[in-house]
Structure 1
Amino acid sequence: MDYDDLIDRLGLAAKIRLLTGADMWSLPPLPEIGLERLVMSDGPIGVRGEQWSSADPSIALPSPSAMAATWDVELIRRAGLLLAQEARRKGVHVLLAPTLNLHRSPLGGRHFECFSEDPHLAGEIGAAYVEGVQEGGVATTPKHFVANDFETDRFTVDVRVSERALREVYLRPFERVVGAGAWGVMTAYNAVNGTTMTEHADLVNGVLKGEWGFDGFVVSDWTAVRTTEAAAMGGTDVAMPGPASPWGERLEAAVREGRVPESMIDDRVRRILRLAERVGALGGDRRPAPPPIDGVALAREVATRGFTLLANDGVLPLREAGTIAVIGSAAAEARVMGGGSAQVFPDRVVSPLRGLGERAEVRYALGTDPRVRLAPIARPARAEFLDGQGRVLAERALAGTEARWLGQLPPGVDGDRLKAVRLSTAYTPEVSGGHELSVAGVGAFTLTVDGGIVFDEIVEPEGGDPAAAFLSPPERRVGVPMTAGRTYELAVTHPAGMFGGMPFVSFTLGHADPTPGEEELIARAVSAAADSDVAVVVVGTTPEVESEGFDRTGLGLPGRQDELVRAVAAANPRTVVVVNAGSPVELPWAGDVAAVLLTWFPGQEAGAALADVLFGDTEPGGRLPTTWPGRLEDAPVVNVTPVDGAVAYEEEVFVGYRAWERSGRAPAYWFGHGLGYTTWSYDSIAAEGTTVSVAVTNTGARPGREVVQLYVADGADRRLAGFDVVEADPGQTVIATVFLDERAFQTWSGGWRTVRGEHTLEASHHVADPRLSIIVKI
């Protein structure tokens, strides 16, 4: 297609209009050249679409840290194809994913949305994700370019990092996905070495578009473009959202006055037209439809492949079902995804309690409830959109009591007449006593029970991150007596707000049953465990611990969960602890329980996948994509708190396991660790050029899966250079093949330099467990 001819047909105003969002999620159409509206949507575990609401459900895959725990590029490519299928079903052209930032510090609050601490693993999994989505005809925007590895002051922080560390660590995953053909990249909020990333000409124009030859489009993180000329000269192509932005008329004036070359505008338009042609929004949609994928089955498969067995005394797999005590708040209401822009609304969630209950006799006990906020009511609800006189403009059915619309109202709702939203549901309690109701949101709220007002206040925002008002708003509670079996009509009314000229609705109606108190809850859990053949305790983090918008202050499990685990383990030696967290937590009781299984944030099929693994239908296939500290104070790289507006990456390239090995301290579990239900021998290793072959044998009694990891070991410094996933029947020998790229033997010193001489390659079960080695000469 002749993009230059299309550009020549556009005036300057039309070209510049194309560089800013028409609304929260789209770029404007230009019918005069056959360009359709281009729609973007958040990911990365599903495709939300323009309606951030349970009225428009989405498949919810496991979190990116769980995806990386599979170490299975073909599986993640299939997951990408599923996401493309979901995107096309929802009319989405661009998926705002994957997140390629690294687990630099265990305190990073958004690490569940990132793949790994290791740049090679992050790059390989990220490339598979990109290839799968784009094979389905939908664009990706790997993000956040670059060094956006923590959340504290993320809008303004300046990351001070050496050129070597940038090249070898933080830029490397982006270089890999650009090589895999990514059609987009998203620039971050933060600055790098004094320059905001949306204005960073050296990294965006120089490295990304110039050195790497990236021909896609560069979109800003939402509201990250804050200047006219600096951002225009810095390489960012599209400022989102819109229509209000520092570009528009101001950028047009800058071009007409010669302060910004029009050739730069033309290059941006060319990139958008190329994107539009790739996704079928220019000159007609000619993308072939990808083959249909069963999203529920694939979500379950990815979950089991990512589940990581940290410890097991032989209790797993469960050979006899018997009676299982299922304990913990996350057992009944699993946390299947992280908070923030990664959130979607699946049309079903299988809890651990439900999944195990379908396979065995279970006894449930709450044990303790670490949640700071009350959970939404998981019952059918209704949202009514009201005008200034309280008349209903439109209604929408919801799957639960969570109302959320940002930038886009449901079809048929007149935004000019909309003044308030009323969220209501009918609730029938199972127990009598003092129940708690809550509203979570910012602004004025009126909560009624059977028409009577029980709460009528204005809730002020907290903290300095403007996204927190939407992603993690403050909560207010009120006690309400209720009688079991009686149905109550609950309703919350909230004024409809605006954000940047766009509609903004975000609030939740929460509920909690009466509680006998923590001591009694733990005692009931201990009793259930003592009377059962096996106890399964599900522990995990809460949305106040892991979410977008803030970092963590520690690695301890919230509430009294550690105490609960110890008490249950004392009552039943066959205690299995399931850890429902997106990134590391301290496990001080790990040596006192029979097994520890990490499920990450496992997606909508959590409980079904858990049953598959606990009962041995499939192995827990995961290997740690990040090192797991025993205690926060042992971690060699921790700091995420800016000093005078900056965070210095003083550790240079020594991040993750490389930092641990350099420190001389041992973590609880090393990078790459994970157990299966069989055993393996590593028999031989051979190298021919940069192709390495490793023979391994399944020495156990059942089929199994092994991730053969290859490290380049230069003295005490090990670096992951490649990996391969193999499967074998009992007694079978298979060959793992690893293809090494040139970066495995290169370092950055003003340019890439190959380190000549002899290098030791180690075939390992995990980074600190080498099984075989060979010396190669480069």
Structure 2
Amino acid sequence: MSGLSEDERLWLLDGDQSFWRGMWRMVARGYNRVPVVAGAVPRLGIPGVRFTDGPRGVVVGTSTCFPVAMCRGASWDPAMEEEIGRAIGAEARAQGANLFAGVCVNLLRHPAWGRAQETYGEDPVHLGVMGAALTRGVRQHVMACVKHYALNSIENARFTVDVTVDDEALHEVYLPHFKAVIDAGAEAVMSAYNSVNGHWAGQNHALLTAILRQEWGFAGFVMTDFLWGLRDPVGSLAAGQDLEMPFRQQRARHLPAALRSGQVAMADVERAGTRIVAAQLAHAATPRPPLAADVAACPQHRALARRAAARGMVLLRNEPIEGQAVLPLDKASVRSIAVVGRLAGKPNIGDKGSSAVRPPVTVSALAGIRSAFSTARVTHHDGADRPAAARAAREADAAVVIAGYTAWDEGENIAGLDAAAISAMAPPPLNHPLLARTWASLVAVAASRRLIPGGDRRSLRLHTRDENLIQLVADANPRTVVVVITGSAVVMETWRKHVPAILMAWYPGMEGGHAIADVLTGAAEPGGRMPMATPTDGGHLPFFDPRAPNITYHRW
């Protein structure tokens, strides 16, 4: 720190771009198309944190879109997850990043959570093993960041909810997986938006200092979640928050004056800066061979994505028809297939928020089936014309219904933004209370009219039109397979006993269509097992209120 000026020391503690310039580029180019840089000091050769998001792959540039983490969690295969981590790390480094912030291990408390697809399941041991495996792989190329610390498992209320939890539940259920990832070497931790026991996670001394550093011995750095992850730019520094992301926001406005007035000690500034720079230096000190520019979405990584998708698919049901199980479908004897459903031909790879990867191409279920059954007659009906769909199913040797969700049904969502968070985030004049309240009201109205995608799921059942279509096709063809596209558990009681075969395919990534066809034909074994309990009725689950201002988390 002695070689840095006071301005440079403060520069280390937030993103490098100004708020308005950064926001304009994000709107014009899209989120995280290039690495988000924080704390670069070229004069001293400090590269800065160069951030890419995840966890489906590298959000920067054009990258391999792997199956969502929930699909990979269903594989229960840490060796494969470490292999995926190596691929992700290589693609991140090749595209200019030095930190991958896609090790998401938030525990799935309820399957309606909108971002369930980004984590591995509901068990802390399972989460820790899989997250640690991803971390080991990623760190062969870039630094790893685990998120969202902690107790972040409601999407709609994530900016406002206060989670109350006792020490027993906190340490036995909601934190062990974070520690497992840190023990695997993660250099960074991203704090959550929500409040824990009355204190915002981004400035929560108990979480960031007492547990993370004093109890666990974490020596890396902590960063905020983006834009709205910090409420107190001054007090957060002493609490253990090192880096405000992604732009020069509150700290750039408030820390210089706070330092002059004595509200902030230079020792706190230097401590945070040292953590951030030390992690970069330690990473840079490890020699790594150069990477080819075309490693991103290369054939080897696409093949891994295809294998991982099939490995995580769960065959929930496979009953015999005329003495033989419906799956696998014999390519030699199946002459015609009816593929039914509005999602069949869509590149449906999951959430459109911060985890959205931009692959060069995506193979839909329909395209994968047509490729696998190249000599058969494959017809497609989206289900809008119900008699036509039933007729196609009746005339085919087998019928495949593709049903489930899209990014409009579940995923990241900003509908819960409150005026206080907006006011804290933005510089003048946008931080004026009246403007902040107006913005929050407009967001709330848009969300109520379903103009904003994502959020927590409104139901654990499929859409009524999908359930009706499944019944229709099953009545028309006894050899009906239902492929479910989802990020979490689905209640299937109204239709599951009416179809002989059900395949849980999750959001299977850019090669998902080929992987689905691999499983349908028997070219690949559906190796997955459910990483969460699936209820027969939503009433069997813990209480869940997506708009809760406060909630208590217990051990179950």
Does the 8 Å CA contact 2:341/2:382 hold for their aligned counterparts? yes
Alignment partner for residue 305 of structure 2, among 290, 299, 302?
Answer: 299
1:60 Cα deviation from its structure 2 partner: 0.4
Residue 419 of structure 1 corresponds to none
Q: Tell me which amino acid in the other structure corresponds to 1:529.
A: A
Does the 8 Å CA contact 1:190/1:196 hold for their aligned counterparts? yes
Residue 36 of structure 1 corresponds to 47
1:642 Cα deviation from its structure 2 partner: 4.6
Does the 8 Å CA contact 2:365/2:516 hold for their aligned counterparts? yes
Give deviations 1:239-273, integer Å, cap 9, x for gaps: 01212x22125213323333222222112111111
Distance 1:77 1:290, change over 3 A: farther
Residue 528 of structure 1 corresponds to 392
- Indicate the SS of the match to 2:110: coil
Give deviations 1:454-511, integer Å, cap 9, x for gaps: xxxxxxxxxxxxxxxxxxxxxxxxxxxxxxxxxxxxxxxxxxxxxxxxxxxxxxxxxx
Structure 1: distance between partners of 2:500 and 2:282: 52
Distance 1:362 1:600, change over 3 A: farther
Residue 326 of structure 1 corresponds to 339
Structure number with greater CO (CA < 8 Å, separation at least 6) is 2
Alignment partner for residue 238 of structure 2, among 233, 237, 242?
Answer: 233
Structure 1: distance between partners of 2:172 and 2:291: 35
Q: TM-score, normalising length from structure 1?
A: 0.60
Distance 1:157 1:238, change over 3 A: same
Structure 1: distance between partners of 2:396 and 2:543: 41
Does the 8 Å CA contact 1:338/1:601 hold for their aligned counterparts? no
Q: Does 1:363 align with 2:364?
A: no
Does the 8 Å CA contact 1:71/1:622 hold for their aligned counterparts? yes
Q: Tell me which amino acid in the other structure corresponds to 1:230.
A: G
Residue 83 of structure 1 corresponds to 88
Give deviations 1:357-392, integer Å, cap 9, x for gaps: 122224333343xxxxxxxxxxxxxxxxxxxxxxxx
Alignment partner for residue 134 of structure 2, among 105, 129, 132?
Answer: 129
Does the 8 Å CA contact 1:578/1:596 hold for their aligned counterparts? yes
Structure 1: distance between partners of 2:347 and 2:535: 24
Structure 2: distance between partners of 1:288 and 1:109: 39
**1:431-446 to 2 correspondences below 5 Å:** none
Residue 647 of structure 1 corresponds to 551
Does the 8 Å CA contact 1:81/1:135 hold for their aligned counterparts? yes
Name whichever of 24-33 and 227-236 sits farther off. Answer: 24-33
Q: Does 1:120 align with 2:26?
A: no
Alignment partner for residue 600 of structure 1, among 493, 496, 506?
Answer: 506
Residue 289 of structure 2 corresponds to 288
1:544 Cα deviation from its structure 2 partner: 2.1
- Indicate the SS of the match to 1:596: strand
Does the 8 Å CA contact 1:321/1:359 hold for their aligned counterparts? no
Give deviations 1:717-753, integer Å, cap 9, x for gaps: xxxxxxxxxxxxxxxxxxxxxxxxxxxxxxxxxxxxx
- Indicate the SS of the match to 2:157: coil
Give deviations 1:394-435, integer Å, cap 9, x for gaps: xxxxxxxxxxxxxxxxxxxxxxxxxxxxxxxxxxxxxxxxxx
Higher-helix-fraction structure = 2
1:346 Cα deviation from its structure 2 partner: 0.8
Q: Does 1:351 align with 2:364?
A: yes
Q: Tell me which amino acid in the other structure corresponds to 1:22.
A: D
Does the 8 Å CA contact 2:69/2:120 hold for their aligned counterparts? yes
Alignment partner for residue 316 of structure 2, among 306, 310, 313?
Answer: 310
Residue 538 of structure 1 corresponds to 402
1:111 Cα deviation from its structure 2 partner: 0.4
Q: Tell me which amino acid in the other structure corresponds to 1:18.
A: L
1:641 Cα deviation from its structure 2 partner: 3.7
**1:134-213 to 2 correspondences below 5 Å:** 134-136=139-141, 138-213=142-217
Q: Does 1:103 align with 2:108?
A: yes
Does the 8 Å CA contact 1:326/1:362 hold for their aligned counterparts? no
- Indicate the SS of the match to 1:610: helix
Structure 1: distance between partners of 2:259 and 2:288: 36
Alignment partner for residue 578 of structure 1, among 475, 478, 483?
Answer: 483
Alignment partner for residue 279 of structure 2, among 260, 275, 278?
Answer: 275
Structure 1: distance between partners of 2:394 and 2:223: 56
Alignment partner for residue 340 of structure 1, among 347, 353, 368?
Answer: 353
- Indicate the SS of the match to 1:355: helix
Does the 8 Å CA contact 1:143/1:185 hold for their aligned counterparts? yes
Structure 1: distance between partners of 2:207 and 2:303: 41
Q: Does 1:609 align with 2:473?
A: no
Q: Tell me which amino acid in the other structure corresponds to 1:38.
A: V
Q: Tell me which amino acid in the other structure corresponds to 1:27.
A: A
1:352 Cα deviation from its structure 2 partner: 1.3
Structure 2: distance between partners of 1:242 and 1:290: 29
Q: Tell me which amino acid in the other structure corresponds to 1:627.
A: A
Alignment partner for residue 535 of structure 2, among 605, 626, 629?
Answer: 629
1:199 Cα deviation from its structure 2 partner: 0.9
1:275 Cα deviation from its structure 2 partner: 2.1
- Indicate the SS of the match to 1:202: helix
Structure 2: distance between partners of 1:600 and 1:358: 21
1:586 Cα deviation from its structure 2 partner: 2.0
- Indicate the SS of the match to 2:100: strand
**1:372-387 to 2 correspondences below 5 Å:** none
Does the 8 Å CA contact 1:367/1:523 hold for their aligned counterparts? no
Structure 2: distance between partners of 1:364 and 1:166: 52
Alignment partner for residue 13 of structure 2, among 12, 19, 25?
Answer: 19
1:289 Cα deviation from its structure 2 partner: 4.4
Q: Tell me which amino acid in the other structure corresponds to 2:496.
A: A
Structure 1: distance between partners of 2:508 and 2:546: 29
1:141 Cα deviation from its structure 2 partner: 1.2
Give deviations 1:69-127, integer Å, cap 9, x for gaps: 11000000000011011101210111121111111012211101111111111111111
How many positions carry a matched residue from both structures?
482
Structure 2: distance between partners of 1:359 and 1:228: 56
Distance 1:345 1:101, change over 3 A: same
Structure 2 unaligned segments of length 5 or more: list them: 23-35, 320-324, 414-454
Does the 8 Å CA contact 2:237/2:272 hold for their aligned counterparts? no
Residue 64 of structure 1 corresponds to 69
Superposition misfits of 4+ residues, deviation over 6 angstroms = 290-293
Q: Tell me which amino acid in the other structure corresponds to 2:512.
A: A
Structure 1: distance between partners of 2:372 and 2:336: 10
Does the 8 Å CA contact 2:155/2:546 hold for their aligned counterparts? no
Q: Tell me which amino acid in the other structure corresponds to 1:582.
A: G
Structure 2: distance between partners of 1:228 and 1:569: 58
Q: Tell me which amino acid in the other structure corresponds to 2:380.
A: A
Structure 2: distance between partners of 1:19 and 1:561: 49
- Indicate the SS of the match to 2:147: coil
Q: Percent identity?
A: 36
1:37 Cα deviation from its structure 2 partner: 3.9
1:26 Cα deviation from its structure 2 partner: 1.1
1:554 Cα deviation from its structure 2 partner: 1.1
- Indicate the SS of the match to 2:103: coil
Q: Tell me which amino acid in the other structure corresponds to 2:99.
A: V
Residue 28 of structure 2 corresponds to none
Structure 1: distance between partners of 2:12 and 2:288: 23
1:559 Cα deviation from its structure 2 partner: 4.6
Does the 8 Å CA contact 1:641/1:647 hold for their aligned counterparts? no
Q: Tell me which amino acid in the other structure corresponds to 2:275.
A: R
- Indicate the SS of the match to 1:135: coil
Structure 1: distance between partners of 2:72 and 2:527: 11
